[in-house]
Amino acid sequence: MSRYTGPVTRISRRLGVMLFSGKGKSKEKAFLKKNYKPGEHGQKRFRSKPSEYSKQLQEKQKARFLFGISEKQSKKYFVMAAKSDKITGAKYLEILETRLDNVLYRAGIGSSRPQARQMASHGLIKLNGKRIKTPSILVKTGDTFEVVESKKGSKLYEENKNDNVKAPKWLKVDLKNLKGEVIAMPQKDDIEQIIEHQLITEFYSK
């Protein structure tokens, strides 16, 4: 299954939680206005009691759509997490947090994960001094990232620099100069709280 590129409000309604980020106020209003599943019988289905499998699948899908990853990538990250000595589900989300596109979003360089992913895939970002085009790269402590010099004057970044973004404590960010450093790995309180990672573990452990 490839990465989802369809309407974000519709998928958010299906999963019952806002999965989009950034400046999408119109999307937020649309979600709140129709806070039930899409489709002809959406309001009725939203009130039905989901099965255990349905709840597990929903949490896995939340993670997929929130971070913009494919099912193949999701399975790969879960296998990586299962080999860790940490709680598997929590480690799975930690891995997602350390994707370069997510790091750019968390740092405030990208106003949303899709925008940050596009920046990286278009070669507008340097990682440890080298220009890259792979938004899925997993960063580690000590890695540095920044916008390439020729693009630092872009209106896009000027808008983002004016936003009041508070970077997580595991990132050291110089938003004025559009660069930052990974000073630690994300901890329990740093990962997305809207996802119940234990249900993802149960889903993939079947």
Give the three-class secondary structure for 172: strand
What is the pLDDT confidence band of residue 49, given thresholds at 50, 70 and 90? Answer: confident
Report the first-to-last Cα separation within the chain, whole angstroms: 19
Instruction: For the chain, give every domain's residue range.
Output: 8-96+191-204, 99-182
Residues 6+ positions from 137 with CB-CB distance below 8 Å:
99, 100, 120, 127
Confidence of residue 131 (pLDDT cuts 50, 70, 90): very high
Task: Please indicate whether residue 125 or residue 165 has the higher confidence score (pLDDT).
Answer: 125
Pick the CATH number of 99-182 from 3.10.290.10, 3.10.105.10, 3.40.50.300, 3.30.70.2080: 3.10.290.10
Question: Domain 8-96+191-204: which topology?
Answer: Ribosomal Protein S4 Delta 41; Chain A, domain 1 (1.10.1050)
pLDDT computed for residue 26 by the predictor: 46
For residues 38 and 85, the model is more confident at 85
Mean pLDDT of 36-40: 54
Residue 171 near residue 103, CB atoms below 8 Å: yes
Query: How far is it between the farthest Cα atoms of the chain?
Result: 54
Please tell me what DSSP assigns to residue 109: S
Please compute the mean of the pLDDT values over residues 62-91 and round it to a whole number: 96
**The tokens 């989009």 sit on which residue?**
20
pTM to 2 decimals?
A: 0.80
Residue 86 CA to residue 31 CA, distance in Å, equals 35
In percent, the amount of the chain with pLDDT more than 70 equals 76
Q: For 139-182, what is each residue's pLDDT tens digit?
A: 999 999 999 999 998 888 877 776 677 899 999 999 999 999 99
List the 171-174 sheet strands across, edge first.
130-132, 125-127, 144-147, 179-182, 171-174
Task: Please give the structure tokens belonging to residue 40.
Answer: 């002809």
Residue 95 has pLDDT above 80, yes or no: yes
pLDDT of residue 106 exceeding 90, the answer is yes
E strands within the chain?
Answer: 125-127, 130-132, 144-147, 171-174, 179-182
- Eight-class DSSP state of 188: G
